[in-house]
Amino acid sequence: MQTINNNRRSFLKGSALATASLALTQMPAFASGFSQKVTAISLDTCKKMSAVDMAFESQMVLASKQYLTDQINSINDWSIRNLVTDIYRQPTPMVLEQLDNDNRTAVWKELLAKNYSNSDLDHFLPNQPVKQADYHAFYSAPGSGYGSHHSYPGGLATHLAANVHITNGIVNTYQETYNYKVDRDIAVAAQLLHDLHKPLVFPWLKDHSCRKENTLADTGEHHVLSIAELIARNMPAELVVATACAHQAPMTLAHQQQIAKWLDAAAIINGIDPVRYGLLTKQQGQLRLNEIAQQEGFICHIGDHDYVLSVPAVQQTLPVLRKIAHEQYAIADDDHSAFNALRNRIYSLYSAMQIHAEFSNHGEDRIKAMMLAAVQP
Ligand SMILES: [Fe+2]
Ligand SMILES: [Fe+2]
């Protein structure tokens, strides 16, 4: 278990410290990870920080960025590698850009007719994002909706890095244990791309929280939109199907129909025929999942199970952070913006996973010390 090497009292002395930024905490490097430096800032400074500022100050997020870059470069297929590189640099929603007003209305009507959406015409898709500098949108995005897993600036990067680590582990395990190889390019690329439209679906808001997600075809809209983006960019059917399995493995016929529904919705948004594209087949008038990239799809789904722990990690530590925010920082319960800024910085620097582990093993005082090392009241 790591320990914090700073003495809290030493940095609480002196009024100048209230606004100064000081390098305070040097946490030991992980066995194969990164050196975790934490610099204290004032609460006022924290409240003024953007999500990009927070993400790019976090050694954890930067380490995830480096790992993801290495993994993208390890993809052998140049067209897939280029696509992932482009999307991480600028997650431009080409799938939305190609929709003019007439197409948009036609898509909405078709989604409604199939019960894939229950939103009105103005809200059935997210708004076009404001273009940011290269890498900023992707690497400052949260890992999910606010209050769920990795919901902090840079959370998407840590989610993806963890998932790709796990995916590589599965690919290698199957090879070493069962003596066969899956298509690593498809398995790893599907994992790298499975949440590609979270920057679009979860933009940061003024109060430091993020947009609430709609559903599309009975799942979070980011899922259908991410698959739709791969279709818009003409990616191979195997990669699209494997990515579509992130939210459900095709274990039973009912599961296969569920995945087929997501692919059908993604095809509708693109105005393409999912059967001709090779995503689905038609059997007795019913759309069925095409039986391609099967193990890679299962692996994508298994590799996306980080949420089992990372959702409770947020939900079980938020009340602790809120209590400390109230007692140490005098943040009123209804001052959501101040609390969100504080919690974003804390999670972004340490991760909710580490906060959860430290709280489980050492209790509230440890979390208090970690928070005060990062933000001074
Ligand atoms: Fe997802
Ligand atoms: Fe995910």
Distance 22 CA to ligand 1 centre (A): 37
Mean pLDDT across the chain, nearest whole number? 91
Among the bound ligands, name the one nearest to the CA of residue 143: 2
Look at the chain and report how many structural domains it folds into.
Answer: 1
Among the bound ligands, name the one nearest to the CA of residue 158: 2
Distance 309 CA to ligand 1 centre (A): 15
The pLDDT value recorded for residue 292 is 87
The pLDDT value recorded for residue 91 is 97
Burial 91-116, CB ≥16 within 10 A → b, else e: bbbebbeebeeeebeebbebbeeeeb
Whether residue 367 lies inside any domain: the answer is no
DSSP-based helix, strand, coil % in the chain, nearest 5:
60, 10, 35
60: exposed, middle or buried (Cβ count in 10 Å: 0-12, 13-18, 19+): buried
Whether residue 285 lies inside any domain: the answer is yes
Whether residue 359 lies inside any domain: the answer is no
Instruction: Give residue-wise pLDDT tens across range 176-194.
Output: 999 999 999 999 999 999 9
The pLDDT value recorded for residue 28 is 43
Among the bound ligands, name the one nearest to the CA of residue 149: 2
The pLDDT value recorded for residue 37 is 83
Instruction: Give residue-wise pLDDT tens across range 240-282.
Output: 999 999 999 999 999 999 999 999 999 999 999 999 999 999 9
Among the bound ligands, name the one nearest to the CA of residue 216: 1
CA atoms of 143 and 163, how far apart (whole Å) = 12
Q: Do 116 and 217 touch, CB atoms closer than 8 A?
A: yes
Among the bound ligands, name the one nearest to the CA of residue 247: 1
The pLDDT value recorded for residue 187 is 98
Distance 246 CA to ligand 1 centre (A): 7
CA atoms of 367 and 157, how far apart (whole Å) = 23
Q: Which residues have their alpha-adjacent CB atom under 5 A from ion ligand 2?
A: 195, 304
Distance 102 CA to ligand 2 centre (A): 32
- Binning pLDDT at 50, 70 and 90, where does residue 285 land? confident
Distance 195 CA to ligand 1 centre (A): 5
Distance 144 CA to ligand 1 centre (A): 8
Q: Which two tokens stand for residue 233?
A: 């960019």
Whether residue 130 lies inside any domain: the answer is yes
Whether residue 240 lies inside any domain: the answer is yes
Distance 181 CA to ligand 1 centre (A): 25
User: What DSSP character marks residue 210?
Assistant: B
- Residue 151: which domain range? 66-303
Distance 222 CA to ligand 1 centre (A): 6
Instruction: Give residue-wise pLDDT tens across range 313-323.
Output: 999 999 999 99
Whether residue 128 lies inside any domain: the answer is yes
- Binning pLDDT at 50, 70 and 90, where does residue 32 land? low
Distance 131 CA to ligand 2 centre (A): 23
Which residue in 160, 146, 147 sits closest to 316, CA to CA?
Answer: 147
Distance 142 CA to ligand 1 centre (A): 12
Average pLDDT for 139-151? 94
Average pLDDT for 60-87? 98
Distance 307 CA to ligand 2 centre (A): 8
For the chain, give the percent of residues with pLDDT over 70.
Answer: 91
Whether residue 326 lies inside any domain: the answer is no
The pLDDT value recorded for residue 293 is 79
Among the bound ligands, name the one nearest to the CA of residue 303: 2
Distance 304 CA to ligand 2 centre (A): 5
Distance 242 CA to ligand 2 centre (A): 13
Whether residue 93 lies inside any domain: the answer is yes
Distance 34 CA to ligand 1 centre (A): 27
Q: Do 64 and 154 touch, CB atoms closer than 8 A?
A: yes
pTM: 0.90
